[in-house]
A and B are shown apart, each in its own frame.
Chain A
Amino acid sequence: MSEVVFENVTKIYNGKTVVVPRINLRLPANQLTVFVGPSGCGKSTLLKLIAGLEDTTEGKITIGGRDVTFAPPAKRGIAMVFQSYALYPHMTVFENMAFALKIAKATKQEIRARVEDVAKILQLTQLLDRKPRQLSGGQRQRVAIGRALVRKPEVFLLDEPLSNLDASLRVEMRIEIAKIRQNLNATMVYVTHDQVEAMTLANNIVVLRAGIVEQMGPPLEIYHKPVNKFVAGFLGSPQMNFIEASVKSVDGNLAHFEGTGFLKPVTVKIQPGTLKAGEKATIGIRPEHLDVVEGHDGDFAFVASVQEQLGDHSLLYGSVGESRCTIKTDAARVLKVGEKFSLRIQSAEVHVFDAAERNVVAFENR
């Protein structure tokens, strides 16, 4: 039971570059938390702060209630899987996995027993005598995970572990990691920029931007209830559509929006008092929540420019007024480029972002 807690943690490089400005974060024990964000958002830095590979400039980090802010990495009860695997090239798979135990002065029998146990779980038993260069990418990845598992960590850190693999192997290893998560009694922290990995693996997602936590919560909550435009745009593929609009009128908690490309006013339930008539706003709708209709029966006028056929569905790229817009539709529908259609909102799941990019939609009735 080891939760990881950041208390007012600040990280400043070389006394001037602020990477993490004062973060407070609680990563629940025995769950997998994913840090996502664009590159440079500080997600890897946070991981290295937990590992102790970077010094904390200010604040406190605790693992399972123990203050580890100044503890060396090996004394923190963590293990880490690196992006490049970082296997020791001159050692066999067995030696790679036994290295930490040897340093910790475990007995020969104990080392052998633990390495063989882990090797069995990861199907590495046949490979124990090989050197890393004789292994495929997926096998190296498994050895890296095995080397971490052998240490029986309280906290298991993974730094973009799948980014060096090709697409099909990535899916395979993702499932493997999901299995390990189920069987492993440890807190896992996983850094990625791949939102599919985040959505599929996480118990909790932490969305970061410039060292600041934008939102934290279970994947589906973040997907369905993003707190702001950044989070809404970051999770989901293709990205959520953002259509520029202005508030026509507000009565109670119902706001009516209009704008270029709007065929009729769009009405959305918002949090009371957040928008006034005449203000600018952005309507956010995911590509799968828009439907193409013939003629001008829909809510928006749409000009299509490119269609991508993906077999089971197709993607339509175009614009509504000045805003770019993507629609996910079934494959059978072939559209002529440049043709005008209208779009109908086919779900109640519409988001509204105010001028400060906060999501002001009323979630409670969903």
Chain B
Amino acid sequence: MRRSLVESIGLWFAVIVVSVFSLFPFYWAVVSSLKEPSSMFQVEYWPKVLEWSNYSSIFKEQPFGTNIINSLIVASSTVLLCLIVGVLAAYSLARVEFRGRGTLLALILAVSMFPQVAVLSGMFELIKSMGLYNSWGGLTISYMIFTLPFTIWLLTTFMRQLPRELEQAAIVDGASSWVVLTKVFLPLMGPSLVTTGLLAFIAAWNEFLFALTFTLTAESRTVPVAIGLISGASSFESPWGRIMAASVIVTVPLVILVLVFQKSIVSGLTAGAIKE
């Protein structure tokens, strides 16, 4: 179908509006991170002098490298744990008939409906009593609260779309439930595992409230907290340049991850939409 000139102009205008709206904040962060503190509040759409000192100083004035490693470990172990539990739960929720299956699924979703702050104090007591305060383990376990529900839901939906006859064929071939899951289902679930894993990774990577509450020392903080607590040399200096530099740094791994898994994500999101 050919578009008329007016339609084309309208379409591209809309594209530009949406792009600017969604990309400008990130662009502004990049630009701000390259400015000197003195020129921070002058409106410049491209800085005249590229100032890289913001990037080096965040690593000097605080253990930002350690913070990044903390974040990587916490987010990765969240993803790993989440996928293991999620796959097992999804298999039983999608394939095993038992009483109260629908109720259980609804409950799992309900868990994620509470605002984080509502469970914060209770969670704090739990983490402390388990001796996980100020550690990677405490964060990983508490992140399950919001990553597991959607992981289980997405994987259950995907697992339901796998043909029942495939499972029956494997059972006739002598496969146990474990073999059906690991040798037949898991290899077919790659794209959906990547998609859900990535969503869980992003959620864990960007989490702030739990990370702030359940850590104490600068060395055990994750990046969102570390960035939030960046302060200026004096109380009169606002550290916007460094905050922006740190933000840009921590966004890069996410962008790389998404680019690497791009193909799988697309096929994961549309998997099962059409018959092969």
Binding site for B on A (CB under 8 A): 51, 53, 72-74, 78-80, 82-84, 86-90, 99-100, 103-104, 133, 147, 151
Contact = CB atoms under 8 A, between A and B. Distances in A.
Size band of the interface chain B makes with A:
10 to 19
Contacts of A90: 187-188
A82 B174 contact: no
Nearest to B174: A74
17 contacts: A51-B168, A53-B168, A53-B171, A74-B174, A83-B165, A86-B166, A86-B168, A88-B166, A88-B169, A89-B276, A90-B188, A99-B170, A99-B175, A99-B183, A100-B172, A133-B276, A147-B169
A290 B46 CA distance: 94
A48 to B, nearest CB: 8
Contacts, number: 55
Nearest to B179: A103
Contacts of A147: 169, 173
B172 A78 contact: yes
A53 B168 CA distance: 7
B266 interface: no
A103 B174 CA distance: 7
A133 B276 CA distance: 9
A87 B163 CA distance: 10
Contacts of B276: 89, 133
B184 interface: yes
Contacts of A99: 170, 173, 175, 183
A80 B174 contact: no
Nearest to B171: A73
Contact of B172 (A51, A83, A104): A51
A73, A86, A103, A133: residue with the most chain B Cβ atoms closer than 10 Å: A86
Contacts of B175: 74, 99, 103
Given A89-B188, A90-B188, A74 B173 contact: yes
Given A88-B184, A90-B187, A104 B169 contact: no
B165 A79 contact: no
A86 to B, nearest CB: 4
B173 A84 contact: no
A79 B174 contact: no
A84 B163 contact: yes
A83 B169 CA distance: 11
A83 B166 CA distance: 11
B159 to A, nearest CB: 15
Contacts of B171: 53, 72-74
A88 B174 CA distance: 14
A74 B180 CA distance: 13
A86 B179 contact: no
A80 B187 contact: no
Nearest to A54: B168
A86 B174 contact: no
Contacts of B174: 73-74, 100, 103-104
Contact of A53 (B166, B172, B184): B172
A72 B168 CA distance: 12
A21 to B, nearest CB: 23
A80 B169 contact: yes
Given A88-B184, A89-B188, A100 B173 contact: yes
A86 B179 CA distance: 16
Contact of A74 (B165, B166, B172, B184): B172
A113 B276 CA distance: 32
Given A103-B179, A133-B276, A86 B173 contact: no
A275 B39 CA distance: 110
Nearest to B167: A86
A83, A100, A147: residue with the most chain B Cβ atoms closer than 10 Å: A100
Given A90-B187, A133-B276, A79 B179 contact: no
A86 B162 CA distance: 10
A289 B153 CA distance: 62
Contacts of B183: 99
Contacts of B169: 80, 82, 86-88, 147
Contacts of A78: 172
Contacts of B168: 51, 53, 80, 82, 86
A168 B198 CA distance: 47
Interface string B126-165: 0000000000000000000000000000000000000101
Contacts of B166: 86, 88
Contacts of A79: 172
Nearest to A95: B183
Q: Sorted from nearest, which 3 A-B pairs have the closest CB atoms?
A: A74-B174, A100-B173, A86-B165
Contact of B173 (A53, A89, A103, A133): A103
Contacts of B187: 90
Given A80-B168, A80-B172, 5 more contacts: A51-B172, A73-B171, A82-B169, A84-B165, A103-B179
Contacts of B163: 84, 86
Contacts of A74: 171-175
Nearest to B176: A103
A63 to B, nearest CB: 14
Contacts of A104: 174
A159 to B, nearest CB: 9
A88 B163 CA distance: 11
Contacts of A53: 168, 171-172
